[in-house]
Amino acid sequence: MRKIKYLFGLVLILMACATKEKRKNSEFVKKLDNTTKPNIVIILTDDQGYGDVGFNGCKDISTPNIDRIAANGVKFTNGYVSYAVCGPSRAGLITGRYQDRFGFCRNPLFAPKDSNMGLPLSEQTLAEALKGGGYQTMAIGKWHLGAHESLRPLNRGFDEFFGFLTGGHNYFPKDLVFNDLSELKGQWDPYRTKLLRNNNRVEEQEYLTDALSREAVAFVERNQENPFFLYLAYNAPHSPLQATEKYLQRFDHIKDKKRKTYAAMVSAVDDGVGALLNSLEALNIDKNTLVFFLSDNGGPELDNSSDNRELREGKGSLFEGGIRVPFAMQWPVKIPRGSVYNEPVISLDIFATATELVQVTPKSEIDGVNLIPFLTSKNSGVPHKQLFWRKYDDQSIAMRSGNMKLVQHKTPNKELYNLADDVSETVMLKDSILFNQLSTAFDNWDAKNSEPTFLGLIHGKQFDSINPGRWMDIEKY
């Protein structure tokens, strides 16, 4: 009997020890998870040309801080966005899906009463996905994914927002005069609304780009103990071209006034990128933070004096100048410093990379892929055998398959180019077999796409015909 009691006691002691150990282990795992979950930062610029960063060979505008990202990690020489203008490109980036899948085929109008004018609620944003992984999230700057109350950042997975809802904004605080959307009379008036902090209008004293950078640094400092996702969407260097003397005086060597102002705006972004990187380093969280840098579309060279270098055309076009952008990323714990990656990648890959690292499952089928295995040579294949673009209203299309590009943009027929030796898309190839193969592949991709779900900026005339003061109240365009 005594022996049985002894054995029973021993079992109880062992069980208690095991439970304690298990608890200790799970606490350890929990702690490990929280300290090893990478932070995700996306720095998006607006209408910056492929050639307008130092890491792509820019000579007249110095971008030492943006270049730090490429030097700390990788530059993508064939980095794309999923559309050639702002809104749809952002819809693709933030969902990891070709925006044509869900009808975001146009640049949205500013229509705060129209719940269809923006990113459909059926779609999951990267912020919503990362919330599932315990992340703190903030969107800063340009939103452009819907001005209706239901479509604003705080309803799309972001804990915090500082910025503006429309497709662009004035930069000087003195120009920000509207307190309430009811004061707006025209489609471009939202450029002059006071900024929003979450859902409240605030008085801003700083040049807009500096204000956005300040908010980014403050968010990182506030969340240094948490895994976080920061979506820093500068509207610079999108027009209107406005810069302060602090930045203009750096560019006395540029005689063209437009280019000089553009350069100053890029330089302001570069300072902000520097402040953000410095902050990550000072807090000792830079090593495990993924920082992506890219522009939302190619430069509109005539409009803002950007430079897409040898790429053909620019913003709005499906030739390379419209969709190939300056693109770099760093993640010091994994990606070798100073890497150069030449295979095609696309903004959709950011969603896929982030969700896979954080181990959250996307709600829908995504079109991007996790880039890390390709950047660490674990996977020697290519991330994408083919990439596709569609501009619904122009009936423009493009696809890239290896180095071959099929494109039709304001041309009578589809054209075939070999980007390996003709990055400027000047020499049309005549290869009917390949032409037919790629055309069929495009049609197969396009068969899964949706019709547009809202009118766009190109329908501005229709929009402007509505009596001033009335358009703000219309619930469906």
Instruction: Give the length of the chain.
Output: 477
Angle value at C-alpha 65, between 60 and 70, nearest 5 degrees: 95
**What 3-state class would DSSP assign to 116?**
coil
Least CB distance to Ca ion at residue 46 (A) = 4
The CA distance from 160 to 223, in Å, is: 12
Identify whether 17 is a catalytic site residue. no
Paired tokens of 270: 């570069």
Q: Which of residues 47 and 215 has its CB atom nearest to Ca ion in the complex? A: 47
Least CB distance to Ca ion at residue 168 (A) = 8
Binding site for Ca ion (CB under 5 A): 46-47, 86, 296-297
Q: Is the peptide bond before 240 cis (omega within 30 degrees of 0)?
A: yes
Structure-token match 């300290």, residue found: 35
The CA distance from 102 to 451, in Å, is: 8
Least CB distance to Ca ion at residue 90 (A) = 8
Q: Confirm if 213 and 271 have CB atoms less than 8 A apart.
A: yes
Neighbouring residues of 287: CB distance < 8 A, sequence distance ≥ 6: 332, 333
Identify whether 58 is a catalytic site residue. no
Alpha helices for 201-311 (secondary structure H): 208-222, 245-248, 257-282, 301-304
The CA distance from 250 to 87, in Å, is: 32
Of 58, 86, 105, 169, the active-site residue reads: 86
Paired tokens of 455: 């009118």
Alpha-carbon distance values, 260 to 257, 289, 311 (Å): 5, 33, 22
* Of residues 43, 57, 79, 63, the one with CA closest to residue 265: 63
Chain centre to alpha carbon of residue 166: 16
Cβ neighbours around 345 below 10 Å, total: 28
Least CB distance to Ca ion at residue 128 (A) = 23
Least CB distance to Ca ion at residue 303 (A) = 10
List the catalytic residues: 86, 144
